[in-house]
Amino acid sequence: MRALRFAAALYARRLDFMFHGYVRRDPMALLQLRPGRHDPYLMYERIRAGGDLVPTRLGNFVTPSHRVCNTVLRDRRFGVRAAELTGRATPDQQVDMSFLDRDPPDHTRLRRLAQPAFSPRRMADYAGRIEQRVGELLDAAAAKGSFDLVSEFAAPLPITVITDLLGVPDADADRFARHGATIGSALDGIRSLRHGARLKAASDELDDVFARLFVLRRREPADTESATDLVSRILTAEGDQIRSHELLPMCRLLLVAGFETTVNLIGNAVNALLDHPEQWAALRADPAGLAEAAVEETLRWDPPVQRTARCAVEEVELAGRTVRRGQFVVTLLAAANRDPEVYSHPDRFDIHRTPEADHLAFSSGIHYCVGAPLARLEAVIALRMLAERMPGLARAGTVRRRNAGIIRGPIHFPVTASRRVPAQTV
């Protein structure tokens, strides 16, 4: 028995050595672990050194190239319904996310239903409400002196906006933020039974909120032409544009995607600005003129969504290689946004940058983020008013990032609020 235990221990040590040796040699594997989650950009450069389209150890491909990423995302020979071709889903299909994980014609049908809520005309309707909410949050933060930028500003803002848009009454911002973070973390795949249980609980609770709202709105429908209560408009399309079993996934997607992207965009923007005092000073000097540029540079330099994947639905010649039907191409959006073939000084955060190409932070092609106009509007107003009303904003502790690879952003960001700029930063 002792000899058996000794042999088992040796075998376990050998497996452990082989595993860590494999991980150290594979940047894609490191992206899933702490080093890659802390600084994925170092891993992206290691991948970039291998070329525009790099084979992975699992028999697929990964690309850090802006040109190749954009091609794959726009090419109808690549789709998102991988399970139908390979028998296995991508990690981001652990939860049904409506048209986000559908190919045409279902994608077209469902997206067309949501699209009007994010039109330019609707954005004009939302702007005043967003400014009012930002003002309320900054007033509360200023009264405290020190606050958490994420839980007390970056999260409550978009949660208020998207729940108002959907018509969710008495929304609990803290609870929705927790559930959104849990569902967002599942995009990397389920890591444990406990993680799976948290995901199911979060998804079930959100579904329960909407199921009760469906009952209410079927009995008391709201004005479907107003800027709010998208749920009522979705329900009127039931049986025509949307099937009954698609209602909950659609609303879940709009809710979670409607605030998760913006929460992390605002957090990443403020983090970058405070890391670059000269950029923060420039924004303070001209909030109205530079807030939009600061948002766009953040989306390029440190986007909230780092990567996505597509599956070839037929054989494709791409970047000098053959991608067979059923093979994945992982498009590293954040790496593409720092592609030196497209951007000058790509690793430099510069809100004065003259755009040389459209970044891919919101993807590209038919799956371009439907909520991008709203996320941009919220982030621009948030940064502008933050610079106007808290020019002395400073760190008050260590930033803690979320434990995820696909979604990147701070989960805890302590700061001090001040209307005065410290003398050494003036």
Q: What is the pLDDT of residue 230?
A: 87
Q: What is the pLDDT of residue 262?
A: 94
Domains contained in the chain, CATH given = 41-420 (1.10.630.10)
Q: What is the pLDDT of residue 419?
A: 66
Q: What is the pLDDT of residue 7?
A: 40
Per-residue pLDDT tens digits of the chain, which is 426 residues long: 444 444 444 333 443 333 344 445 576 777 877 777 788 999 999 999 999 999 998 899 999 999 999 999 999 999 997 555 555 555 444 567 787 889 999 999 999 999 988 888 888 889 999 999 999 999 999 999 999 999 999 999 998 898 888 888 776 777 777 777 777 666 666 667 887 788 888 888 888 888 888 898 888 877 655 545 788 889 989 888 899 999 998 888 888 888 888 999 999 999 999 999 999 999 999 999 999 999 999 999 999 999 999 999 999 999 999 999 999 999 999 999 999 999 999 999 999 999 889 999 999 999 999 999 999 999 999 999 999 999 999 999 999 998 888 899 999 999 998 766 655 554
Reduced 3-state DSSP string for the chain: CHHHHHHHHHHHHHHHHHHHHHHHHCHHHHCCCHHHHHCHHHHHHHHHCCCCCEECCCCCEEECCHHHHHHHHHCCCEECCCHHHHCCCCHHHCCCCHHHHCCCCHHHHHHHHHHHHHCHHHHHHHHHHHHHHHHHHHHHHHHHCEEECHHHHHCHHHHHHHHHHHCCCCCCHHHHHHHHHHHHHHHHCCCCHHHHHHHHHHHHHHHHHHHHHHHHHHHCCCCCCCCCCHHHHHHHCECCCECHHHHHHHHHHHHHHHHHHHHHHHHHHHHHHHHCHHHHHHHHHCHHHHHHHHHHHHHHHCCCECCEEEEECCCEEECCEEECCCCEEEECHHHHCCCCCCCCCCCCCCCCCCCCCCCCCCCCHHHCCCCHHHHHHHHHHHHHHHHHHCCCCEECCCCEECCCCCECCEEECEEECCCCCCHHHC
Q: What is the pLDDT of residue 240?
A: 85
